[in-house]
Amino acid sequence: MAIKERKEREKQDMRNLIIESATQLFLKHGYDKTSIRNIADDIEYSPATIYLYFKDKDEIFYVIHENAFVILDGLLRKNQSIENPIERLHAIGKTYMQFAFDNPDYYDLMFIMRAPLSQIKSEEQWKSGECAFGYLIDTIGECLDKKLVKPVDKMLLSISTWSFVHGLVSLYIRERMCIVPMEDSQIKQMLDVAVENYVENLRA
């Protein structure tokens, strides 16, 4: 392996190590209580080393945030083979919930944890987040164009749909569903039925 290639690999390995450490510390202690020094201590390097790869804690959080949305967007778009857009909409809802069930820590970082979004707001590069939500908007737009759902503003319906599924998922992720006297598998099935009923009620 050439020296340049080896150095690039070592650089990427270090970035991955920092991101992995920061993710776990953010989840364990919260964003505000995690510092660059905490991350440095965890990976047994100096804070100066981390600053060689990231300008601040916000940028580290942004990268974690972006990576998670890349995964989510890729999963959502696997439903593209479903030709009927309203059936695809139901599948998107199920995929979104399954992502949260399989990756509760990532979901917490993406949608629930309090953290400044200055890095995201100050840059026009939150591409994966925009793509994931854009895919939902496009699918709902198809439903409206084909008159499969009741006529309504496309953006309003997109926000309402996302909010509905997010609400269900958030209650589950934060263990608020413990008030429901059911086994975990039954609760997940109930949430799936809730999404299915929501989509059915949209039909024209």
In order of their start, the domains of the chain are: 81-202 (1.10.357)
The model's pTM is 0.83
Task: Specify the DSSP element, H or E, that contains 164.
Answer: helix 154-173
pLDDT in tens, the chain (204 residues): 577 777 888 889 999 999 999 988 988 888 888 999 999 999 999 999 999 999 898 889 888 888 888 899 999 999 999 999 999 999 999 999 999 999 888 888 888 776 656 555 555 555 667 788 999 999 999 999 999 999 999 999 999 999 999 999 999 998 888 888 889 999 999 999 999 999 999 998
Contact 202, 140 (CB under 8 A): no
For 156, how many CA atoms within 13 A lie in the half-sphere containing its CB?
6
